[in-house]
């Protein structure tokens, strides 16, 4: 795979099953390098064939009306600065009608149970800037009164707030704003009786230095809002058809890193709040908010007698059924859980019939970028038990496979300190026949750290292998998918640069060289983004075994991160078990900037200028520290890009990023630098390194 082959990828996502249980709407995404945009359209599987269903420039988030007659979705035009708006169309097809023209666009939607109205999430300007035009707003000094005042997903948000809006399905009446409190509101869901809407927002008296959120309910007729649960870290809320309330998240935000749980909200009498969340799946010791790329289904989907939910498990994302019929909430035993979809793959989205007899799901594995699959469930169990019948609905990767030489992936174990670490390697062309110690190696480190590499298609590994490298990565302690203890192993230990995750990653390098005799120990490069950038910077300060390094969008100086990142006010407490001002010594001891003078590997600092998760000042400080230490270094800055550059940046920038990465490793891992280091005619990344 070459960098420009990104344009060949066609990816499905967000499958939505029609109420009749026979049709599936889903989103197809593809990159358009000519127009430098990601094109999205909604496709329909009608039980017999698949066809494109909408023809807008960018359509996403399809949602069937409960009566089955309509489809709502979000449409974004190609006009400069255009925002997503609500579009409606018949379930039988035809022209879509734009139902809103809100200045800041619509970000989420949910149908009322009677299909007559929809609740929307849309931002509104603060009163002092609402009447200004765009130019006046840009020129006006920014008055900041809260944290965060900018977010990685939303940019500058100091002058706007997300609110709930109500809009009729028919007619042309303007959307009615439902919420007034100056805080962000999100994840709305209608109560089954249609009289109230539950949503998630920051608690009334919460400090903006804390990550707390709370489940609220709004009475649609009166506008009255009441809190349903105690403050926690709630990420999703939903009602079962019988009216029972469920939520996903943590009782305490500082339970994270750890397993995100699914909770039944038990009614209480006489308590401060009407519901008490009861965790249902703690016995699984797995995260139910999967972090696999593209996972759009964040909470349960309800079926007769229970629900289905995705579970992250040792590099896979499987789908399980939780049975609530006959379960006694007061008993010691948890509800029964059975696999519906498992295997060495990752489910990225799903829709299910109400009787659980069929599931439509999108899935990826190391050789499959993504497809939509239809599963008929014979007896409530999944395909792995032999009772289910799977059928590929799409073949979106057909042209991609015909044009791109996908390299094989091998999963292997790394043993250290009595623990088994899951690892993956993607082999370059000719690897099996290559001479001993002849193939260069690139060590990759994922972000998070509470996320995972896994059994999914990863363009990064394929591009590296396509350029002739053995691409390797693992899930060290601190990753997700292996339980709470595994994820929490890194909490409070990063002041020691020989922490458990660092040693796990060093063991990966040793295990790779031992397992693959073709791997060249004299040509090992290393790179990572976000936490991966942090870990890379720590590793290269401990050893001179790496010929080159790329530190991408990293957390590199904890003190300034605490004041500039959109998660800075609390992220240090979560991982360092320390916060400012008392924790200043821990912040400095855990910062790679402090150990930059020990680095010997030529190091590229790669950062996005609109990254508000790990702001660019992090990269600037590290680059300057490397310069002061006399390290061979360069900094590449991508304008107008966020922390999500490698996954969701502009198509041209994503290709250019790959070219920058391959060029750096070609120069220093492969030794193609010499006097060409500053020469514009230096080897291009398309010139794949040869095994020697």
Identify the pLDDT of residue 290.
64
| C-alpha–C-alpha distance, residues 491 and 530, integer Å | 17
Confidence grade of residue 393 (pLDDT, cut at 50, 70, 90) = very high
| C-alpha–C-alpha distance, residues 169 and 671, integer Å | 63
Confidence grade of residue 672 (pLDDT, cut at 50, 70, 90) = confident
DSSP 666: H
Encode pLDDT of 586-640 as tens digits. Answer: 999 999 999 999 999 999 999 999 999 999 999 999 999 999 999 999 999 999 9
Dihedral (CA of 667, 670, 672, 675) sign: positive
Dihedral (CA of 47, 50, 56, 62) sign: positive
Helix (H) or strand (E) holding 398: helix 398-403
Q: Walk me through the domains of the chain, giving residue ranges and CATH numbers.
A: 295-406 (no CATH), 407-676 (3.40.50.1820)
Confidence grade of residue 379 (pLDDT, cut at 50, 70, 90) = low
Residues whose CB is less than 8 angstroms from the CB of residue 402 and which lie 6 or more positions away in sequence, other chains included? none
Longest CA pairwise span in the chain (Å): 77
Identify the pLDDT of residue 381.
45
Residue 144 tokens, joined = 């900041």
DSSP class per residue in 592-644: GGGGGGG--S-EEEEEETT-TTTTHHHHHHHHHHHHHTT--EEEEEETT--TT
Lowest-pLDDT range of 65-69, 85-89, 287-291: 287-291
Per-residue pLDDT at 676 exceeds 70? no
Encode pLDDT of 218-238 as tens digits. Answer: 999 999 999 999 999 999 999
Per-residue pLDDT at 470 exceeds 90? yes
Per-residue pLDDT at 291 exceeds 60? no
Encode pLDDT of 157-180 as tens digits. Answer: 999 999 999 999 999 999 999 999
Per-residue pLDDT at 557 exceeds 50? yes
Lowest-pLDDT range of 21-30, 332-341, 546-555: 332-341
Cβ–Cβ under 8 Å, residues 96 and 53: no
Identify the pLDDT of residue 466.
98
The partner residues of 572 in beta bridges, in order of sequence, read none
Identify the pLDDT of residue 673.
60
Cβ–Cβ under 8 Å, residues 684 and 661: no
Lowest-pLDDT range of 64-73, 283-292, 427-436, 503-512: 283-292
3-state secondary structure of 557: coil
Most confident option among 204-208, 648-652, 670-674: 648-652
Q: What is the rounded average pLDDT for all residues in the chain? A: 93
Confidence grade of residue 468 (pLDDT, cut at 50, 70, 90) = very high
Q: Give me the percent of the chain exceeding a pLDDT of 90.
A: 90
| C-alpha–C-alpha distance, residues 341 and 373, integer Å | 11
Find the radius of gyration of the CA atoms of the chain.
25
Per-residue pLDDT, averaged over 452-470, amounts to: 98
Per-residue pLDDT at 679 exceeds 60? no
| C-alpha–C-alpha distance, residues 215 and 234, integer Å | 7
Encode pLDDT of 233-263 as tens digits. Answer: 999 999 999 999 999 999 999 999 999 999 9
Confidence grade of residue 103 (pLDDT, cut at 50, 70, 90) = very high
Residue with tokens 């945009």: 37
Q: Give me the percent of the chain exceeding a pLDDT of 70.
A: 95
Per-residue pLDDT at 692 exceeds 70? no
Confidence grade of residue 295 (pLDDT, cut at 50, 70, 90) = low
The residue among 309, 189, 289, 188 whose CA lies nearest residue 241 is: 189
Per-residue pLDDT at 289 exceeds 90? no
Per-residue pLDDT at 387 exceeds 80? no
| C-alpha–C-alpha distance, residues 427 and 405, integer Å | 12
Residue 45 tokens, joined = 């599987």
Phi and psi angles of residue 531, each rounded to the nearest 5 degrees, phi first:
-55, -35
């Amino acid at each position: 795979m070459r960098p420009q082959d990104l344009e060949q990828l066609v990816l499905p996502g967000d499958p939505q099953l029609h109420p009749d249980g026979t049709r599936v709407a889903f989103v197809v995404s593809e990159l358009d390098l000519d127009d430098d945009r990601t094109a999205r359209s909604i496709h329909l599987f009608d039980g017999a064939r698949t066809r494109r269903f909408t023809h807008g420039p960018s359509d996403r988030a399809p949602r069937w009306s409960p009566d089955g007659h309509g489809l709502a979705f979000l449409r974004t035009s190609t006009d400069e600065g255009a925002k997503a708006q609500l579009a409606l169309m018949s379930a039988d097809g035809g022209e879509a009608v734009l139902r809103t023209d809100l200045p800041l666009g619509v970000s989420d939607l949910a149908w009322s149970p009677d299909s007559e109205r929809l609740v929307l999430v849309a931002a509104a300007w603060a009163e002092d800037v609402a009447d200004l035009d765009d130019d006046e707003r840009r020129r006006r000094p920014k008055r900041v009164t809260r944290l965060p005042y900018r977010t990685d997903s939303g940019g500058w948000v100091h002058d706007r707030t997300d609110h709930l809006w109500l809009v009729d399905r028919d007619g042309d009446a303007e959307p009615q704003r439902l919420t007034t409190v100056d805080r962000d509101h999100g994840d709305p869901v209608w109560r089954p009786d249609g009289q109230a809407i539950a949503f998630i927002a920051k608690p009334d008296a919460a400090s903006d230095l804390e990550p707390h959120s709370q489940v609220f309910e709004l009475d649609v007729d009166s506008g009255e809002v009441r809190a349903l649960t105690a403050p926690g870290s709630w990420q999703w809320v939903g009602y079962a058809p019988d009216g029972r309330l469920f939520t996903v998240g943590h009782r305490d935000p500082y339970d994270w890193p750890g397993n995100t749980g699914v909770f039944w909200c038990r009614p209480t009498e006489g308590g401060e709040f009407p519901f008490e969340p009861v965790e249902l799946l703690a016995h699984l010791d797995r995260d139910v908010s999967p972090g696999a790329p593209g996972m759009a289904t964040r909470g349960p989907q309800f079926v007769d007698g229970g629900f289905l939910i995705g579970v992250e498990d040792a590099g896979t994302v499987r789908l399980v059924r939780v049975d609530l019929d006959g379960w006694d909430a007061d008993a010691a035993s948890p509800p029964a859980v059975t696999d519906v979809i498992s295997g060495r793959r990752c489910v990225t989205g799903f829709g299910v019939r109400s009787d659980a007899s069929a599931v439509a799901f999108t899935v990826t594995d190391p050789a499959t970028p993504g497809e939509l699959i239809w599963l008929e469930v014979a007896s409530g169990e999944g395909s792995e038990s032999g009772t289910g019948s799977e059928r590929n609905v799409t073949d979106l990767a057909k042209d991609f496979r015909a044009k791109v030489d996908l390299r094989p992936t091998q999963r292997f174990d790394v043993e250290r300190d009595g623990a088994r670490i899951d690892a993956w390697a993607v082999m370059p062309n000719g690897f099996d026949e290559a001479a001993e110690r002849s193939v260069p190696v690139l060590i990759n480190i994922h972000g998070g750290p509470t996320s995972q590499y896994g059994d999914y298609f990863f363009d990064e590994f394929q591009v590296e292998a396509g350029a002739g490298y053995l691409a390797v990565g693992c899930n060290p302690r601190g990753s997700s998918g292996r339980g709470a203890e595994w994820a929490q192993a890194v909490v409070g230990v990063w002041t020691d640069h020989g922490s458990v995750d660092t040693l796990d990653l060093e063991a990966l390098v040793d295990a790779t060289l031992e397992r693959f005799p073709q791997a060249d120990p004299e040509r090992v490069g290393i790179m990572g983004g976000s936490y991966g950038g942090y870990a890379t910077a720590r590793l290269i300060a401990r050893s001179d075994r790496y010929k080159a390094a790329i530190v991408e969008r990293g957390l590199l100086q904890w003190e300034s991160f605490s004041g500039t990142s959109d998660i800075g006010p609390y992220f240090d407490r979560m991982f360092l078990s320390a916060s400012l001002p008392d924790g200043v010594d821990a912040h400095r001891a855990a910062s790679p900037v402090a150990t930059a003078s020990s680095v010997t590997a030529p190091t590229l600092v790669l950062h996005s200028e609109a990254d508000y998760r790990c702001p660019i000042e992090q990269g600037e400080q590290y680059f300057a520290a490397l310069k002061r230490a006399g390290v061979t270094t360069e900094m590449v800055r991508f304008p107008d890009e966020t922390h999500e550059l490698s996954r969701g940046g502009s198509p041209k920038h994503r290709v250019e990023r790959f070219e920058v990465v391959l060029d750096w490793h070609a120069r220093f891992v492969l030794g193609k630098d010499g006097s060409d280091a500053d020469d514009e005619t230096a080897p291009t990344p398309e010139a794949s390194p040869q095994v020697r």
